[in-house]
Structure 1
């Protein structure tokens, strides 16, 4: 069995750093709310709050690089 990046020796994934911060506006939350968007860009996890996600929905759905929006 091969291990994936981020897997630890115990078979679990690396825990998320707390608190979670929005990559756009810096809003924070202890746990990522269900309304937030999650993406991986260049191997780095990014969370986007619901307000920023709504404001940039077309760019997100169009898969534009976040530097464009």
Structure 2
């Protein structure tokens, strides 16, 4: 699924935009996802991580990638 529940492709009204929050530390992003943030899909849920948490956990993030990504 590429859109939020209740979005226009489900026949409902467009969902109100929710503030983007880092899934690890709770930092709020102003506006759309910053290019320095990381997006991860875990158990079917999209999670965003701020640039600080992404940098602090880079080795763990890369360790989960298939070798074709490196």
Q: Same fold (TM over 0.5)?
A: yes
Q: Return the alpha-carbon distance in structure 1 between the equivalents of residues 25 and 16 of structure 2.
A: 19
Residue ranges of structure 1 left out of the alignment (5+ in a row): 65-69
* Greater share of helix: 2
Distance between the aligned counterparts of 2:43 and 2:17, measured in 1? 18
How many pairs are equivalent? 57
Residue matched to 1:43: 44
Q: Residues 19, 61 of structure 1: CA spacing in aligned structure 2 closer, same or farther, 3 A cutoff? A: same
Task: Give the equivalent residue in structure 2 for 1:59.
Answer: 60
Q: CA deviation at 1:16?
A: 8.4
Could you tell me whether the CA contact under 8 Å between 1:18 and 1:31 is conserved in 2? no
Q: What is the alpha-carbon root mean square deviation over aligned residues?
A: 2.5
User: 1: CA distance between counterparts of 2:16 and 2:63?
Assistant: 27
TM-score by length of 2: 0.67
Moved over 3 A (4+): 14-17
